[in-house]
Amino acid sequence: MNAPFSPLDRTDEIDLIDLWLIFKRRWQWLVPAIGLSLAAVLGWGSLQKPTFTYQISLQLGAVIVDGQVVSLEEPEAVQAAVLQRSSQGGRPAVTVDVERGSEVITLSRTGSEAQASEIKAQLTSQAQAILAEQARTQAAYQAQVAALPSSMGATVLYRPARVLGSASLSAVNAPLSLPILGLLGLVLGFMSGCGAILLAEFAAAVRRREQRADRGQPSPVKPERKPMMMAGARHTASRQPA
């Protein structure tokens, strides 16, 4: 007696009805796959903690000579100095963003809510170091200008560096909500279960082919599906004269 027919015993193609019969026969495989996937995703989500990003912005000092604004120090140089100082303290480095075409720089760092005080203290310390360096640069520039002859007659104004607000919370990166985690677990579980079903069906088909080849039996032939006719069409055909 020939082995029962499986859609994967064919070598040409599989239609949607074949796939439906495969999943219908092995649907129990989806239950543990979805359960394990839900447990893994929900467990991963419970370990995720919200992170916060704190930032502080500064406007660098400048010298205004006859209406022309000249920066006391290039923002890129200040950025490099801050990165070097923050990496030497044994704490996570501070991120420094420079607004293109302006003297405004933003210091930021991301961490947990428990690290808020530490992060704010680090950002404030870096801002104070920038202000102190800017003040020294401005004092040196003023000394150079004072040494120039008064006959030059240039109008020189100074705009000191300043902090644009205190260190504040700028963004919250919250973990995924429970409904989204559940939906993600269902989708991943369903996909992994379908993959396991197809893999098991393919392995079983290969094993049956090897067994039939060892016994010299031919491969089973897929039974032909009779085309279904609509009731109205059959009724019309039966009433046509011979």
Dump pLDDT digits (tens) for 111-156: 888 888 888 888 888 889 889 998 888 888 888 877 766 655 667 7
- pTM exceeds 0.85: no
The sign of the torsion formed by the CA atoms of 36, 39, 40, 41 equals positive
| Alpha carbon distance 61, 241 (integer Å) | 103
Q: How many alpha carbons lie under 13 Å from residue 210 in its C-beta half-sphere?
A: 6
In sequence order, which residues have a C-beta less than 8 Å from that of residue 62 and are 6 or more positions away? 69, 70, 71, 72, 103, 158, 159
Question: What ranges in 48-115 are assigned the alpha helix state H?
Answer: 75-87
Class of residue 2 by CB neighbours under 10 A (exposed 0-12, middle 13-18, buried 19+) = exposed
Model confidence over 68-109: pLDDT tens digits? 777 888 888 888 888 888 777 667 778 888 877 778 888 988
Tokens at 157, concatenated? 């104004």
Among 209, 164, 153, CA closest to 58: 164
Tokens at 78, concatenated? 């200040």
pLDDT of residue 35 exceeding 70: yes
Contact assessment for residue 93 and residue 82, using Cβ atoms and an 8 Å cutoff: no
Tokens at 43, concatenated? 């467990």
First-to-final CA distance of the chain: 44
Q: Is 70 helix (H, G, I), strand (E, B) or coil?
A: strand
List the beta bridge partners of residue 148.
Answer: none
Q: Is 58 helix (H, G, I), strand (E, B) or coil?
A: strand
Q: What is the mean pLDDT of residues 217-229?
A: 53
Contact assessment for residue 56 and residue 123, using Cβ atoms and an 8 Å cutoff: yes
Model confidence over 151-175: pLDDT tens digits? 556 677 888 888 887 777 776 777 7
Round the average pLDDT of the chain to a whole number and report it. Answer: 78
